[in-house]
Amino acid sequence: MIETKKMVLGIKDVVDLQEEDDMPTEPMTLNMGPSHPAMHGTVRIILTVEGETVKDADVQVGYLHRAFEKESEYATWTQVFPYTDRLNYVSPMLNNVGYALAVEKLLGIAEKVPERAQYIRVIVGEMSRIADHLTCMSAGAMELGAMTIYFWGIKAREWIWELLEELSGARMTHSYVRIGGLAYDLTPNFAEKVLALFPKINQVLKDIQDSLYENRIFRDRMDGTGMITQERALSYGWTGPTLRSTGIDYDVRKAHPYLVYDRFDFDVPVGSKGDNFDRYIVRMEEARQSMRILEQAFKQIPGGPVCLDDPRIILPPKPAVYNTIEGMISHFKIIVDGIKVPPGEVYSYTEGGNGELGFYIVSDGSGRPYKCHVRGPCFIITSALSEMIVNKPIADIVPTFDMMNMIGGECDR
């Protein structure tokens, strides 16, 4: 060690070295992020590299921590919806639905929510899922340098978000779902507009597929990089497309159907090797399956109300609020005190864009959550990142990290 120090300080000249192995080398510590283009501004990886090979990686998350769980404790049950929008901000509808289902489970009204509302929840959820997968696929291509693919995917995502904006009034932070139903019914001709999008979205997916699947450079970057075995993925607790890429067909929608998912005919695409390319094609196929579900949902959707008929849970209609004393009191109580949820605790899980999105909520009988914990799938998936990038080149971090689709809002909460 002393010898090394001397040489580093220049006392021993390089020409004096007996053999090449005498050359003093030391690993370099490299700080990747949080202000690094590939790290989304929300992750920091402290790398120890030898040349370009990562020898050690310390993944640090939490730069986008917004105290979701603590904030929720100060909000009424309904006021938590805008916070859930900001979990996975690429597919907010899925978070809305997941949270609503958890509260309804605790209220014991899960079965009583009108069928039309359940169908609409499936519809908006699957649209969000397509948007989520499109974002992941296109951003993954972009960070490998294929900027054009990114814009194609983003264009398609924007079509979906435009429709969701028409539905909810907000492009990203929809806050569309309510406990016991929905904020509004579908807009006129919504089904036609969505169905008219499918040929265009399919064309975009086909374009992406055509330009990447047979592209030697892309395949070299994706094939066999970021590999993980089924056992390791399971032991980390992976779910969602990343788990399915290893060949395990666990999908909450199939395994534990919620809403009306048991009425649809759809497949769960699985990969075989668990590498980045498998994750890519699993996402691509899932986007197509979501369109299948949507087509069936639009055929089956019944008419009727979109909200439960229960004044303790659902706000009264505005004319009633302004013209009747009962309506006004009911409105006041729900807004100020919140919905009274019976004491107890419940864990409810749905299939989010990245995997099992779980809400563990505890109520003490008041109008506000006593505890609202989120099992963000990204957080669990990101925990495996360090294992997957060690002993690989620095360049492999990019596709591996991208195909995990780590969304800061959901991971750091």
Partner 1 sequence: MGLILLFLIPAAVFTGMAVALVGVIGVAIPWVASHPWGAWAMDPWFQALIKLGLLILLVVMPIASLLTWMERKQSAMMQDRIGPNRAGILGWRGWGIPHFIADAVKMIMKEDFVPAKANRFLFTLAPLMAIIPVFVTFAIVPFGSTVCPDKILQVITDTNQCTNGIGLQTAKMDVGLIFYFAIASLAVYGTTLAGWASYNKWSLLGGLRASSQMMSYEVTMGMAVLGAFMVFGTLEPQAMVYAQGPNPINWGIVKQPLGAILFFTAAMAETKRTPFDIPEGESEVIGYFVEYSGMRFGIFFLAEFIEVVFLSAIMATVFFGGWQVPFLYSDGFHLFGHALQMPHIVVVILQTTAWGMKVIFFCWFQLMVRWTMPRFRPDQLMNLGWKRLLPISIANILITAGVVLAFQAAGSR
Residues that bind partner 1 (CB under 8 A): 28, 30, 36-38, 52, 141-148, 150-152, 155, 211-212, 215, 217-218, 220-221, 393-398
Closer residue to partner 1, CB minimum distance, 218 or 359: 218
Distance in Å, CB of 200 to partner 1, minimum:
11
Smallest distance from the beta carbon of 232 to partner 1, in angstroms?
Answer: 23
In 3D space, the residue among 339, 402, 394 whose CA is nearest the CA of residue 75 turns out to be 339
Per-position DSSP letters for 268-293, written without gaps between them: ----SS-SHHHHHHHHHHHHHHHHHH
C-beta closer to partner 1: residue 102 or 281: 281
- For partner 1, which is the closer residue by CB, 70 or 200? 200
Q: Is 374 buried (19+), middle (13-18) or exposed (0-12) by CB count in 10 A?
A: buried
Q: Give, in order, the Cα–Cα distances in Å from 370 to each of 87, 341, 348.
A: 19, 10, 16
Cβ 155 to partner 1, closest distance in Å?
Answer: 5
> Tokens 């979990």 — which residue?
87
In whole angstroms, what is the distance from residue 380 CA to residue 260 CA? 27
Q: Distances in Å between the alpha carbon of 189 and those of 163, 167, 315?
A: 11, 11, 26
**How many beta carbons lie within 10 A of that of residue 287, not counting itself?**
26
Closest separation in Å from C-beta 213 to partner 1: 12
Task: Pull the structure tokens for residue 342.
Answer: 């019976």
How far apart, in whole angstroms, are the C-alpha atoms of residue 329 and residue 134? Answer: 45
Closest CB to partner 1 among 141 and 293?
A: 141
C-beta closer to partner 1: residue 28 or 255 = 28
CB of 132 to partner 1, least distance (A): 20
Three-state SS sequence of 46-107: EEEEECCEEEEEEEECCCCCCCHHHHHHCCCCCCHHHHHHCCCCCCHHHHHHHHHHHHHHHH
Tell me whether residue 151 or residue 322 sits nearer to partner 1 (CB atom): 151
Q: How far is the CB of 220 from partner 1 (least distance, A)?
A: 5
User: Which distant-in-sequence residues (6+ apart) come within 8 Å of 399 by Cβ?
Assistant: 140, 143, 144, 221, 222, 225, 226, 276
- In whole angstroms, the minimum distance from the beta carbon of 382 to partner 1 comes to 17
Closest Cα partner for 411 from 32, 36, 142, 43? 43
Return the structure tokens found at 164: 């969701």
Rounded least distance, CB 398 to partner 1, Å: 5
> Measured from the CB atom, is 30 or 390 closer to partner 1?
30
Using the minimum distance from each CB to partner 1, give the nearer residue, 80 or 160.
160
Query: Which structure tokens are listed for 216?
Result: 């030697």
